Structure 1
Amino acid sequence: MEIGVPKETKDQEFRVGLSPASVRVLKENGHAIFVQTQAGVGSGFTDEDYIAAGGEIVATQDSAWNRELVVKVKEPQEAEYKFLQKGQILFTYLHLAADRKLTEHLIDCGTCAIAYETVEQPGANKLPLLSPMSIIAGRLSVQFGARFLERQQGGRGVLLGGVPGVKPGKVVILGGGVVGTEAAKIAVGMGAIVQILDVNVERLSYLETLFGSRVELLYSNSAHIEAAVKEADLLVGAVLVPGRRAPILVSRELVQKMRPGSVIVDVAVDQGGCVETLRTTSHTNPVYIEEGVVHYGVPNMPGAVPWTATQALNNSTLPYVVQLANLGIKALDVNSALAKGVNVNNHRLVHPAVQEVFPDLVN
């Protein structure tokens, strides 16, 4: 099969769909891999690295896109819509619940669009291709949050770890899944006061075995959310409803009650965000101040650490890419996890969660 690897075009997105090591595996399986020139440079991979692995370097976007299977990291940008075509398999993060325009175009063009974030292992509600980036985003959320708490960045001037004689900052995390757990690890490591709120009591029990008394674990309801958010120096949105838009848990009215210069980092922004005042930002312009609070809404946070993120992503995606390359669309018949990843196919919106978001697009 011919496999295309375009250079990412999202703002400051330096990850790449396939690493040279992955290209080598695919080449050993008898496939031809066409990598757009400079596609891997941001992740530390040169064109020569891809050539040595058995890939072919192509000069244009079109040459990388015009293949049977296209492997990316982020959803196609508007300038890339023209490359999508019927009979093509697209394998990437999509987050369609927050992007009606892309959803409509994928339906119109007939591409088989498989989203990393909805590939789901049966019986366990595990999202194997979302997990590695969730780990990175969770850890980065506190790293970035600590930075934007600095006074020069518009924040309150709070050091999360505090110092002897001065209390540490408080980190409130909405959601105790992978993102929330990883955020808590970093926040605890910095010496912050940490609270996690979640609706899953079993998950809270697990987190107690992980953190003990170092993290306060609360059942997530409106009263607990309001009390916690008002006192937060850093609020991390870590809510995930697979395939669906994130629920709004923090209203504008509640944001108004936060201390001026507090920081919100909403990792759920690529699914619409769980904070009413949060809107999408970019690595170039990552924050804005609204209601006196610093808001960070970059949807491709792991793109800030592409050397780590690309390799972590490929470790998880490669087995699925190999299966798609070897079997084509028939891979969906033999791999139920991969089949659950299909969002759009043959001019139809097929993923149940995305159908609930756009019922008028279901035919």
Structure 2
Amino acid sequence: MIVGLPKEVKKQEYRVALTPAGCEMLAKQGCQVVVQRGAGEGSGFADQEYEAAGAQLAETAQEVWSTAELIVKVKEPLPEEFDYFRPNQILFTYLHLAAAPNLARALMERQVAALAYETIQSPGGGLPLLTPMSEVAGRMSVQEGAKYLEAFQGGRGVLLGGVPGVPPAEVIIIGGGIVGTNAAKMALGLGAEVVVLEKNGDRMRYLDDVFQGRLRTLTSNPYNIANAVRRADLLIGAVLVPGARAPRIVTEEMVRTMKKGAVIVDVAVDQGGSIETIDRATTHENPIYEKHGVIHYAVANMPGAVPRTSTLALTNVTIDYVLQLSAKGFQGAVQHNPMLALGVNAYRGAITHPQVAEAVGASYTKLESLW
């Protein structure tokens, strides 16, 4: 199989979907790997390293897309890439279709076999290809939140950990999954007072046990959320429903009650955002905006700010699936691996993931009916 690696086109996205090590593994499997020049530079991988690993370099994205049977990316294709789509071409990347109905339509119209990293699911409900980026984003949410709490950034002028005689900042985290847990680690490490709101009782017991009572947990309901949001110096949205649009947990009225100069970081912005006042995604170049006196950080590709770490973490978990797709083909790999089958969002002009179908207003078609 010919595997293509185009350069990411999303603004300030420096990650890459294959490392030279991954290219070497594919080449040893008998694949031809076509890499667009400069694709790995943002993550510190030079073109010469890909060539040494057995890849062929292409000058343009069009050359990669037109040649490859399997395209591997990091971020969802943007409109300028839609014309590259071909029937039965395999696309393997983060898609986040719930927040991108135009992309869903393009994949259907061009009959692309599209697999999303974020909906591949283990039997226990884990999201193995989303987890490493959730870990990065969770940790970054506190790092970025602490920065924008500084007065010259427009924030309250509060140090997360306080100092002796001065209380620490209060960090409210909505959602106790991978993002929330990693955000809590960072916030506690900096000395903040941390509250996690979570609706799953077993998860709250887990967090209480792991953090040995150093954070507080609250059942996530509108009453508790409203009271917690009012107290927050830093509010972190860490809610995810696989494949679906993020539910709006924090209302605009709640945001109005927040302290002037408080900061919101919504990690769910790439799935539409879990906070009502997050009405648009931002970029690393212009990451924040102010609404109701509160700083809103809404960057949709947070891990792109630390591309070396993020690329290595991501490709560590994606490469096995890329090898399966390239060795067995789309149908063979998907039928062999039920986890991979859950990653299929679009195939032969149909939406094959129920939550995605509901989110984009399309009919849901069972994948098995399309063989």
- TM-score normalised by length of structure 2: 0.96
Question: Which residue number corresponds to residue 296 of structure 2?
Answer: 295
| 2:353 is aligned with 1:351 | yes
Question: Which residue number corresponds to residue 134 of structure 1?
Answer: 134
Question: Which residue number corresponds to residue 29 of structure 1?
Answer: 29
Does structure 2 conserve the Cα–Cα contact (< 8 Å) formed by 1:74 and 1:92? yes
Question: Which residue number corresponds to residue 82 of structure 2?
Answer: 81
Question: Which residue number corresponds to residue 323 of structure 1?
Answer: 324
* d(CA) in 1 for partners of 2:354, 2:362: 13
Aligned to 2:3, the other structure's residue is in SS state strand
Does structure 1 conserve the Cα–Cα contact (< 8 Å) formed by 2:354 and 2:364? no
* d(CA) in 1 for partners of 2:361, 2:61: 33
| 2:117 is aligned with 1:100 | no
Residue 357 (structure 1) shift: 1.4
Aligned to 1:214, the other structure's residue is in SS state coil
| 2:16 is aligned with 1:20 | no
* d(CA) in 2 for partners of 1:102, 1:358: 10
Aligned to 1:11, the other structure's residue is in SS state coil
Higher mean alpha-carbon deviation, 154-163 vs 186-195, is at 154-163
* d(CA) in 2 for partners of 1:87, 1:181: 39
Question: Residues 325 and 360 from structure 1, CA distance in 2 versus in 1: closer, same or farther, beyond 3 angstroms?
Answer: closer
Aligned to 2:213, the other structure's residue is in SS state helix
Query: Superposition pairs for residues 33-112 of structure 1, below 5 Å?
Result: 33-66=33-66, 67-112=68-113
Query: Superposition pairs for residues 160-175 of structure 1, below 5 Å?
Result: 160-175=160-175
Residue 206 (structure 1) shift: 0.5
* d(CA) in 2 for partners of 1:358, 1:45: 36
Query: Superposition pairs for residues 117-128 of structure 1, below 5 Å?
Result: 117-122=118-123, 124-128=124-128
Q: Structure 1 vs Structure 2: percent identity of aligned residues?
A: 53
Structure 2 residue runs without a partner (length 5+): 366-371
Residue 362 (structure 1) shift: 4.5
Superimposed CA distance per residue, residues 171-195 of structure 1 (whole angstroms, 9 cap, x where no aligned partner): 0000000000000000000000000
Aligned to 1:27, the other structure's residue is in SS state helix
- The one-letter amino acid of 1:89's match is I
Q: Which runs of 4+ in 1 moved over 4 A?
A: none
Superimposed CA distance per residue, residues 243-270 of structure 1 (whole angstroms, 9 cap, x where no aligned partner): 1111111111110000011000000111
Aligned to 2:274, the other structure's residue is in SS state coil
* d(CA) in 2 for partners of 1:362, 1:128: 24
Aligned to 2:247, the other structure's residue is in SS state coil
Superimposed CA distance per residue, residues 294-330 of structure 1 (whole angstroms, 9 cap, x where no aligned partner): 0011111000000000010000000000000001112
* d(CA) in 2 for partners of 1:12, 1:349: 30
Residue 359 (structure 1) shift: 3.5
Question: Which residue number corresponds to residue 335 of structure 1?
Answer: 337
Does structure 1 conserve the Cα–Cα contact (< 8 Å) formed by 2:75 and 2:93? yes
Aligned to 1:213, the other structure's residue is in SS state coil
| 2:231 is aligned with 1:231 | yes
- The one-letter amino acid of 2:29's match is N
- The one-letter amino acid of 1:173's match is I
Does structure 2 conserve the Cα–Cα contact (< 8 Å) formed by 1:264 and 1:296? yes
Does structure 1 conserve the Cα–Cα contact (< 8 Å) formed by 2:351 and 2:362? no
RMSD: 0.9
* d(CA) in 2 for partners of 1:304, 1:79: 23
Does structure 2 conserve the Cα–Cα contact (< 8 Å) formed by 1:133 and 1:309? yes
* d(CA) in 2 for partners of 1:358, 1:245: 9
- The one-letter amino acid of 2:2's match is E
Higher mean alpha-carbon deviation, 194-203 vs 277-286, is at 277-286
* d(CA) in 2 for partners of 1:161, 1:5: 43
Aligned to 1:34, the other structure's residue is in SS state strand
Does structure 2 conserve the Cα–Cα contact (< 8 Å) formed by 1:147 and 1:153? yes
Residue 360 (structure 1) shift: 3.8
Does structure 2 conserve the Cα–Cα contact (< 8 Å) formed by 1:104 and 1:361? no
Structure 1 residue runs without a partner (length 5+): none
Residue 212 (structure 1) shift: 1.6
Does structure 2 conserve the Cα–Cα contact (< 8 Å) formed by 1:22 and 1:318? yes
Aligned to 1:270, the other structure's residue is in SS state helix
Question: Which residue number corresponds to residue 258 of structure 1?
Answer: 258
Aligned to 2:211, the other structure's residue is in SS state helix
Residue 165 (structure 1) shift: 1.4
* d(CA) in 2 for partners of 1:47, 1:253: 51
Question: Which residue number corresponds to residue 185 of structure 1?
Answer: 185
- The one-letter amino acid of 2:361's match is P
Question: Which residue number corresponds to residue 247 of structure 1?
Answer: 247
Residue 154 (structure 1) shift: 1.2
- The one-letter amino acid of 2:336's match is V
Superimposed CA distance per residue, residues 141-186 of structure 1 (whole angstroms, 9 cap, x where no aligned partner): 0000001111111111111011111111110000000000000000
Question: Which residue number corresponds to residue 282 of structure 1?
Answer: 283
For this pair of structures, how many residues does the alignment match? 362
Residue 57 (structure 1) shift: 1.0
* d(CA) in 1 for partners of 2:364, 2:188: 45
Does structure 2 conserve the Cα–Cα contact (< 8 Å) formed by 1:170 and 1:233? yes
